[in-house]
């Protein structure tokens, strides 16, 4: 049984709490949050103690911590937790600064404690099925990958300003997915973007619509499309052309009802909320972490994976700003 301390009781922390409590091999021992009320509420729901982060890290009976705090605290908490001997599952991204993230990697390497980064989409049943089919050679050798990730609606501009920008905040999931599916890192990154959804986003120095193309040493190509607004729902699709066929992972729909009238044939929309879309993925992610932590097997998503995605986000940001292709082969 893995005894777990949860750092952060916000929206995503609450999702993790359900999975920690619902998993037969883990138990939620304590929670901390800078907002006392949030921690109290979560603690009451799950019957766990409310403590300070320091207390949790110092408690030798706690085996693992899940870091679901604000991004700027991730690196520091990863370092502190591994130093305290905990296994760590940390929400993405590792940090908004690639330098800082690399320093975190160096600092934790010596601890020997396993760190997993929460790229939940790797655990989405459909995406995992697609990857399995690819790995099994069902469409031959991969040639051209397309990732579509559209959010239903943009976040407040106040969030945009501290987010690190679309490439680090939103597209980082797609960079990791590309790495996950292609099994290699790209050699060039080209980004274009605009703030066509909301000029305020542009005024804040960010984009809300972007396309990144990446080339690989062996000739493969990947394209990522992001938009902060798809009014019909959370649009999350993968398409991979291989030498012997095409694999697609399509959207999950709200229900299976189809209505045919003089106005056309109407199906349900994609699920609107990312938590609804990825709820099974979060549960599977936690299951994978627990197994690795208890059984001593390698973490399925490493700190290095987090840094790789961050490096690509940084390259994309640079490419967008300069208008030039960025060589990421080194």
DSSP 323: S
User: Which span (8-16, 81-89, 103-111, 237-245) binds a second copy, by CB under 8 A?
Assistant: 237-245
Closer to a second copy by Cβ: residue 70 or 322: 322
Cα(158)–Cα(197) distance, rounded to whole angstroms? 16
In the complex, minimum distance from the CB of residue 49 to a second copy, in angstroms, rounded to a whole number: 19
User: Which span (4-12, 71-79, 108-116, 252-260) binds a second copy, by CB under 8 A?
Assistant: 252-260
Binding residue for a second copy, selected from 103, 107, 144, 294, defined by CB under 8 A: 144
Q: Which helix (H) or strand (E) holds 54?
A: helix 53-58
User: Which span (51-59, 84-92, 205-213, 301-309) binds a second copy, by CB under 8 A?
Assistant: 205-213
Binding residue for a second copy, selected from 36, 52, 54, 125, defined by CB under 8 A: 125
Check binding of 135 to a second copy (CB under 8 A).
Answer: no
Report the DSSP beta bridge partners of residue 149.
226, 236
Residues in 261-320 that interact with a second copy by CB under 8 A: 261-270
SS3 15: helix
In the complex, minimum distance from the CB of residue 9 to a second copy, in angstroms, rounded to a whole number: 18
Check binding of 325 to a second copy (CB under 8 A).
Answer: yes
Closer to a second copy by Cβ: residue 13 or 233: 233
Residues in 174-193 that interact with a second copy by CB under 8 A: 188, 190, 192-193
Binding residue for a second copy, selected from 61, 106, 260, 298, defined by CB under 8 A: 260
Cα(73)–Cα(5) distance, rounded to whole angstroms? 16
Binding residue for a second copy, selected from 36, 72, 184, 218, defined by CB under 8 A: 218
Closer to a second copy by Cβ: residue 83 or 157: 157
Cα(65)–Cα(67) distance, rounded to whole angstroms? 6
Closer to a second copy by Cβ: residue 103 or 144: 144
Site for a second copy (CB under 8 A): how many residues?
Answer: 68
| Ramachandran class of 314: left when φ > 0, alpha when ψ lies in -120 to 50, beta otherwise | alpha
Binding residue for a second copy, selected from 40, 73, 146, 291, defined by CB under 8 A: 146
Binding residue for a second copy, selected from 19, 75, 179, 227, defined by CB under 8 A: 227
Residues 187, 201 contacting (CB under 8 angstroms): no
Residues 4, 28 contacting (CB under 8 angstroms): yes
Report the DSSP beta bridge partners of residue 237.
148
Q: What is the CA radius of gyration of the chain?
A: 20
Report the DSSP beta bridge partners of residue 224.
147, 212
Cα(19)–Cα(224) distance, rounded to whole angstroms? 30
Strand 115-118 relative to strand 87-91, pairing:
parallel
Closer to a second copy by Cβ: residue 161 or 259: 259
**Rounded to the nearest 5°, which phi and psi values hold at 182?**
-80, -20
Residues 197, 228 contacting (CB under 8 angstroms): yes
Which one, of 94, 156, 88, 74, lies nearest residue 313 by Cα? Answer: 94
Footprint on this chain of a second copy (rule: CB under 8 A): 125-126, 129-130, 133, 138-139, 143-144, 146, 150, 188, 190, 192-197, 209-211, 213, 215, 218-221, 223, 225, 227, 229-233, 235, 241, 243-253, 255-270, 323-325
């Amino acid at each position: 049984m893995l005894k777990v301390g949860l750092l952060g009781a916000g929206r995503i922390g609450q999702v993790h709490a359900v999975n920690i409590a619902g998993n037969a091999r883990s138990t939620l021992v304590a929670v901390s949050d800078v907002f006392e009320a949030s921690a109290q509420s979560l603690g009451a729901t799950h019957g766990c103690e409310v403590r300070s982060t320091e207390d949790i890290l110092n408690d030798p009976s706690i085996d693992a911590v899940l870091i679901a705090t604000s991004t700027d605290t991730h690196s520091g908490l990863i370092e502190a937790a591994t130093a305290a001997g905990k296994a760590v599952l940390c929400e993405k991204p590792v940090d908004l600064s690639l330098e800082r993230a690399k320093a975190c990697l160096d600092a934790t390497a010596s601890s020997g404690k396993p760190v997993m980064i929460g790229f939940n989409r790797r655990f989405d049943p459909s995406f995992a099925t697609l990857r399995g089919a690819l790995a099994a050679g069902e469409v031959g050798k991969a040639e051209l990958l397309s990732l579509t990730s559209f959010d239903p609606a943009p976040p407040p501009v106040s969030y945009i300003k501290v987010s690190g920008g679309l490439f680090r905040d939103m597209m980082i999931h797609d960079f990791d997915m590309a790495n996950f599916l292609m099994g290699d890192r790209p050699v060039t990154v080209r980004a274009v973007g605009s703030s066509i959804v909301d000029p305020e986003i542009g005024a804040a120095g960010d984009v809300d619509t972007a396309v990144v193309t990446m080339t690989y040493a062996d000739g493969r190509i990947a394209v990522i499309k992001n938009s902060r607004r798809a009014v019909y729902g959370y649009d999350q699709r993968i398409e991979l052309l291989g030498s012997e066929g095409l694999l697609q992972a399509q959207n999950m729909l709200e229900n299976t009802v189809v209505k045919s009238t003089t106005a056309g044939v109407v199906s349900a929309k994609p699920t609107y909320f990312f938590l609804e879309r990825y709820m099974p993925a979060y549960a599977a992610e936690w299951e994978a972490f627990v197994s690795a932590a208890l059984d001593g097997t390698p973490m399925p998503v490493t700190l290095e994976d987090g840094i790789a995605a961050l490096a690509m986000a940084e390259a994309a940001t640079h490419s967008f700003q300069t208008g030039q292709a960025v060589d990421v082969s080194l």
